[in-house]
Amino acid sequence: MRRYTIQLCFTLFLTFLGCTTHEKTKETKQEVGTAIEKQSSKPIVISTWNHGVPANETAWQILNQGGTALDAVEQGVRTAEANPEIQTVGLGGFPDREGNVTLDACIMDHNSDCGAVSFLQHIKHPISVARKVMEETPHIMLTGEGALQFALEQGFKKENLLTEASKKAYEEWLETSKYKPVINVENHDTISMLALDENGNLSGACTTSGAAWKMHGRVGDSPIIGAGLFLDNQVGAAAATGLGEAVIRTAGSAMVVELMRQGKSPYDACKEVVERIYALHKNHKDIEYLQVGFIALNKKGEYGSYCLRSGFNFAVKSKLIDNQLTDADFKIQ
């Protein structure tokens, strides 16, 4: 009887060992994006593209000192807006077909309060105007001349945003006037940022000068709550980058958050929405130009990202991650 008991225990041990080894093997085969998002932490900040790295540093200075996620995302993306070398945001942004730099931005806090501006000219920091809309008016979005008038009333300075470098690029484009909506590392149109502070509150911000050489008056997804940015403080936050028209058609960021509400990880939620966008556009004549990417952050501090085609990257900073720039997983090359 004793011998039988020993053999049974040994058999159970081997079975347990085999299951454990199998689980470890299974874990190593997980997709990169899924593995990364296990590194949850708070506070944490995530943003789009390589110019998210310096933006994250600014945001982290606030978060690491116990500041709010709202202050962090506003100040973080202002870093990009003020940098004339980033020709897709704020000062020095590529103009539209008429040679005018027009800006869009939105911001959202943990109470679901939000503010936005679109088609705003002559103001370097549209994200801060968007926050003023949120805090000082009963409205969510102001646009065009109305947004400019409001900004001036709030003390913002009117200035010329067209730098010599962007003007030169515009003049070169005028020689051929070919509208190429390709969204890539040279002309992608957004910096989006999400943050979770030490109190467990989420906020997000999105700011852009829009697609280069766009039609005068065009507004993309960036200032639209639910498309370019969305959050639910009980669930998580999401933001988009890429061709705004494609994001708007699917209410992209809101959809990512709703999928997280249903239990999907940030990575899987981003991936599913990208799959939906691809399904809608795969037979479209301009599919070869289409790029869309999402970042997402849940209430636990887990994050993820996914994009349609290769080339999109995102930056993350927390106490566990030192402003890591990562290439997002993608559906097509």
State the residue for tokens 């590194």.
Answer: 39
Pick the catalytic residue: 68, 88, 190, 250?
190
Show binding-site residues.
218-221, 241-244
State the residue for tokens 């679109």.
Answer: 118
On whether the CB atoms of residues 267 and 253 are closer than 8 A, the answer is no
SS3 labels along 17-65: HHHHHHHHHHHHCCCHHHHHCCCCCCCEEEEECCCHHHHHHHHHHHHCC
Beta bridge mates, 117: 105, 142
Look at the alpha carbons of 204, 271, 103, 150 in this order and tell me if their dihedral is positive or negative.
Answer: negative
Show binding-site residues for substrate.
218-221, 241-244
On whether the CB atoms of residues 235 and 259 are closer than 8 A, the answer is no
Active site residue 34: no
Element (H, E) at 129: helix 126-136
Q: Using a CB cutoff of 8 Å and minimum separation of 24, what contacts does 305-308 make?
A: 305/33, 305/46, 305/266, 305/267, 305/270, 305/329, 306/33, 306/267, 306/270, 306/271, 306/274, 306/330, 306/331, 307/242, 307/274, 307/331, 308/242, 308/274, 308/277, 308/278, 308/332
Q: Which residues are catalytic?
A: 190
